[in-house]
Amino acid sequence: MSDPRAYTIGWICALTTESVAARAFLDEEHDPPNHVSQHDNNSYVLGKIGYHHVVIAVLPDGEYGTTSAAAVARDMLHSFPNVRIGLMVGIGGGVPSLTQDIRLGDVVVSSRDGGKGGVFQYDFGKTIQNQAFKETGFLDQPPMVLRTAVSTLKGTYELRGHQLVDKVDKALEGIKKRKKYRRLAPTTDRLYNSDVVHPATTSGCDIVCDTTYLVHRAARDEEDDDPAIHYGLIASGNQLMKDAHIRDMLAAEKGILCFEMEAAGLMNHFPCLVIRGICDYSDSHKNKEWQGFAAMMAAAYAKDLLQQIPPNKVDAEMPLAKALSDIATKAAAESIQSGLHTEEMRRWLHPPDPSTNLIYARKLRHEGTGAWLLKAPIFQSWEGGSHRHLWLHGLAGCGKTVLSATVLDHLMEENYGLILSFFFDFNDTTKQTLDGMLRSLASQLYRGRAGSAGPLDTLFQAHGKGHNQPTTKALEDIVCEMLMAQKVACIVLDALDESTTRDELLSWIRNMASRPELGHVHMLYTSRPESEFLHEIPTLIEKEHCVSLDKQAVNADIRSYVTAQLLQRRDFRDKHLPQDLLEQIRTRIGDGSDGIWAFCQLDSLARCYHQAAIKKTLVSLPRNLNETYRRMIESIPIELKSDVLVHSKWPLKLAEAKEVIATQIEGDSQGFDVNRRLYSDENVLAYCPGLVTVIGAWDKELHLAYFSVKEYLLGESQFKITTASIPIVRMCLTYLMDISGCSYRKMKRGFLMGKYAAEVWTGYAVLAQSSEDVPDRDWDNHLGPPRGSRLYYTYFDGLIAAI
């Protein structure tokens, strides 16, 4: 049995054909290893080439690609800890061009000038034909000892020729099924025009492909090596290259000579030289006829290469396992440091998080919603880059935010590039200003990196390493600078009308539209068709790029949603409604309505307990949203009505809302009473369905459901801020007074409304203009001095001075 510690050359193959070729070139073959790592599933062949001990591993049968290759390399280094040089040897698809006469049986060796590695990593999307190509970068170079050997061997071949075919013929003597590995007749080397696609059949090209479409190539000169050795860039990806057009594009743009599927998985785990024998032309005319000979040529070159390297040079190299361990440790430290700095940057910017809005919009979206927009010519021309800006406008309730989510998900699926988003939100004051939007965009750009980090790092340093806050103008400039570092970027802004800084926002859009250096930045924004937008935006981006949402298409989405709800919602499905009644609901709710109105009416019908109630509700449906909201408000029990949510300084959590409901400021039972707490957080929603919603899986914040709800409520006299401030102050003070005497721990954990009430009541008191109704009770009503914890007194800091 062989000692694994003796082997210093690691040779990896993807196919059995490649491993057979490798074994054929061993000068001697050794016994299997006497020990391998416990979880090592590789199969090894051990042997010797010249003075070098070589271990050959092959990917498991039927497995291909970068992930499988990485696993094989990882296990090899665990079992053979002294491997110091790596080779990836096998077959690949050639990329013939006017400058590179690549033919079947030629060899391509990974090589790159300018200090970059010879392997170019790429990824495809869902399909091959006509799919956009996505490059992911150049991988590191192989060790210097291998690059030096390549240079030496290249000079030898130019001087004397390579004689690899003779060496292949000699090696074939040791292969029983040698016919598979011999060189084929030149007539079987067929290169078709790029426009010719092989028919969907298993028949060979000699049967189904017209020979008139073959590319004519002159015979090679006697002075030329045949097969030839090429040195250059090898493309490695996660799918088989079968598209001649993309192949040719990369030959022109990147200088790619060969495609394969394993090397990219190795380079970060097993820095190696990649050697590929050409067995096809990376097009639809793939076949396996040339695989055997191509594998033999690659193995022959690899043997010649190893014979150029003195053993002491190999011994001087650090074991790959140790080198990679050091790299991993350094990378982990850098990753931790980078993560800490990113978190530091986040704390400085304190950016609003648009993902909460996106997640909520996805929950509202019915399957297929917005498909009509994605198919619309105006959207497709924007997506394709014909114009930079697109404005979608529509009335309240037509589903603009859901459409924004549809667009974002579509762009992500299409691997559009860097995608940024922001949702203006009437429920969240941090999401209502230009400053908040810029902070969010800067943070998204910073996390996306790709050249954008530097400008923000500089701004961070210029502001006392985060001790001082940047101005909105500074944020505008830095976001533009970060965007200029991108190749392509898209920004989706939803609900411009929910911004409280519309003039500043329109000025920023005007600046973005006018800067030619931002021509690669595409923007889509939505809003209601309000006067300032109708006046300003068409002059900025041209009227044809301003789209009024198609009422007919939106109605089709609503009808589809209503139908799905009737089929899927348990509170409809369990009622076993007759078909004629279901059709009535579809007709009355789904036709001629806007989305929010339809949502509200469905909720109302779902709460009906018998058919008669459903039919009565259908007959008396509200005519519009305002009437809908009026009925909802009237249905809320008087003791549960509160102005707090309408004018809340920040979103209330469900647990805090329960405290509000448990605090009464009218009638004989005034005060806060734990016995009035609702049994569960979700009971809050049951008292005012359709008007409020919960956002966030953990914090569970209570929000008004729609901007139109808040607009309606603010239009009602009882909810105007000057009127509403009085009961809000009374509620806050009543709550604070009634939680006195509790321990610190109990107050902190058991009375969650305390912090909010203590922080906001003075502001509301100013708005209430010190009404005689405030406070309803005072300190004189208490027997003796109040007894409370330090937290309690902290809550009342300011209250004592005011009273």
Residue 742 lies in a domain: yes
Mean pLDDT of 428-432: 90
Mean pLDDT of 189-216: 69
Query: What secondary structure letter does DSSP report for 438?
Result: H
Which residue do the tokens 């698809």 mark?
Answer: 93
Domain presence at residue 323: no
Domain co-membership, 56 together with 21? yes
pLDDT at res. 199:
62
Average pLDDT over every residue of 316-333: 70
Whether residue 523 is found in the same domain as residue 559: no
pLDDT of residue 744: 61
Match 């696993």 to its residue by tokens.
Answer: 71
Q: Please give the share of the chain, as a percent, with pLDDT higher than 70.
A: 78
Are the beta carbons of 93 and 235 closer than 8 angstroms?
no
Beta partners for residue 576, in sequence order: none
Average pLDDT over residues 111-125: 65
* 576 shares a domain with 534: no
What's the pLDDT at 559? 78
Structure tokens at 49: 């080439």
pLDDT at 113: 59
| 520 and 653 part of one domain | no
Q: Is the pLDDT of residue 511 over 50?
A: yes
pLDDT at residue 789, rounded to an integer: 38
- Residues 493, 512 within the same domain: yes
- Decide the pairing of beta strands 489-494 and 389-393: unpaired
773 vs 129, higher pLDDT: 773
Last residue of a domain, one of 495, 521, 549: 549
User: Residue 513 — pLDDT band, cuts 50, 70, 90?
Assistant: very high
Give 396: exposed, middle or buried? Use CB within 10 Å, 0-12, 13-18, 19+. middle
Q: Which of 297, 288, 56 is nearest to 172 (CA)?
A: 297
pLDDT class for 788, splitting at 50, 70, 90?
Answer: very low
Alpha-carbon span 133 to 249, nearest angstrom: 10
Instruction: Confirm if 744 and 803 have CB atoms less than 8 A apart.
Output: no
Q: Which residue, of 495, 519, 549, is where some domain finishes?
A: 549
The answer on pLDDT for 731 being more than 90 is no
Calpha distance 606→456 (Å, rounded): 51
Going by pLDDT thresholds of 50, 70 and 90, the confidence category of residue 650 is low
Reply yes or no on whether the pLDDT at 287 is more than 80: no
Annotate 223-249 with DSSP letters as a single string. Answer: TS-SS-EEEEEEEE-SS----HHHHHH
Question: What's the pLDDT at 644?
Answer: 57
**Of the ranges 110-114, 181-185, 411-415, 629-633, the best mean pLDDT one:** 181-185
Please, which pLDDT band fits residue 120 given cuts at 50, 70 and 90? confident
d(CA 352, CA 13): 50
Whether the predicted pLDDT of 781 surpasses 70: no
Please say whether the beta carbons of 649 and 763 come within 8 A: yes
**Which amino acid type is present at position 578?**
P
Strands of 59-162, DSSP E: 85-94, 107-110, 119-123, 134-138
pLDDT of residue 26: 96
Q: What's the average model confidence in pLDDT over 609-619?
A: 87
Q: Name, in order, each residue with C-beta under 8 angstroms of 87's C-beta and a sequence gap of 6 or more.
A: 9, 10, 11, 12, 146, 272, 273, 275, 302, 305
Tally: H helices and E strands in the chain: 33, 21
Highest-scoring range by mean pLDDT, 133-137, 221-225, 745-749? 221-225
Examine the domain organization and report whether 652 and 724 are in the same domain.
Answer: yes
Q: In 258-319, which ranges are continuous DSSP H helix?
A: 263-266, 291-306, 311-316
Residue 501 has pLDDT above 70, yes or no: yes
Q: Which residue has the higher pLDDT, 288 or 688?
A: 288
| pLDDT > 70? residue 756 | yes
- Are 269 and 86 a contacting pair, CB within 8 Å? no
Top-confidence range, 352-356, 419-423, 654-658 = 419-423
Q: How far apart, in whole angstroms, are the C-alpha atoms of residue 406 and residue 400? A: 10
- Residue 73, domain member (yes or no): yes
* Rounded distance between C-alpha atoms, residue 93 and residue 157, angstroms: 23
pLDDT band at 125 (very low <50, low <70, confident <90, very high): very low
Per the structure, how many domains does the chain have? 4
My answer on whether 177 and 44 are in the same domain is: yes
pLDDT exceeds 90 at position 423: yes
Domain check: are 543 and 604 in the same one?
Answer: no
Q: Mean of the per-residue pLDDT values for the chain?
A: 80
Q: Please tell me whether residues 605 and 470 are part of one structural domain.
A: no
Asked whether residue 341 is assigned to any structural domain, the reply reads no
What is the average pLDDT across 295-309?
97
pLDDT at site 799: 36
Confidence of residue 790 (pLDDT cuts 50, 70, 90): very low
Q: Is residue 626 one of the residues assigned to a domain? A: no
pLDDT digits (tens, 9 = 90+) for 39-58: 788 889 999 999 999 999 98
Cis peptide before 775 (omega within 30 of 0): yes
Q: Average pLDDT, stretch 602-630?
A: 82
How high is the pLDDT of residue 263?
A: 73
Write down the pLDDT at residue 270. Answer: 73
Say yes or no: 129 and 189 in one domain.
yes
Averaged pLDDT, 306-317: 93
Question: What mean pLDDT is predicted for residues 661-690?
Answer: 77
Last residue of a domain, one of 263, 297, 317: 317
How much is the pLDDT for 398? 75
Nearest C-alpha neighbor of 709 from the set 793, 795, 596 = 596
Residue from 706, 711, 686, 709 nearest 695 by CA: 706
**Pick from 159-173, 204-218, 313-327: least confident:** 204-218
Average pLDDT over residues 703-713: 72
CATH number for position 9: 3.40.50.1580
In a domain, 340, yes or no: no
485 within a domain of the structure (yes/no): yes
Residues 35-46 as b or e (16 or more Cβ within 10 Å = b) = ebbeebebebbb
- 3-state SS, residue 257: strand
Together in a domain, 598 and 471: no
Cβ atoms of 401 and 592 closer than 8 Å = no
Residue 410 maps to which CATH number? Answer: 3.40.50.300
Contacts 24+ apart (CB under 8 A), 132-140: 132/414, 132/415, 133/246, 133/249, 133/250, 134/415, 135/254, 138/112, 139/236, 139/263, 139/264, 139/267, 139/268, 140/267, 140/268, 140/271
Range in 165-179, 454-468, 510-524, 722-736 the model is least confident about? 722-736
H helices within 607-738, ranges in order? 611-619, 625-634, 654-661, 683-687, 707-715, 721-738
Q: For residue 344, give the 3-state DSSP assignment.
A: helix
Whether residue 538 sits in one domain with residue 448: yes
Q: Which domain holds residue 439?
A: 350-549
* 786 has pLDDT over 60: no
Q: How confident is the model at residue 327 (pLDDT cuts 50, 70, 90)?
A: low
Task: Write out the two tokens for 319.
Answer: 């074991």
Task: Classify residue 332 by burial, with Cβ atoms within 10 Å: 0-12, 13-18, 19+.
Answer: exposed
Pairing of strands 521-527, 671-672: unpaired
Name the phi and psi angles at 12, rounded to 5: -115, 135
* pLDDT of amino acid 150: 95
Domain assignment of residue 441, yes or no: yes
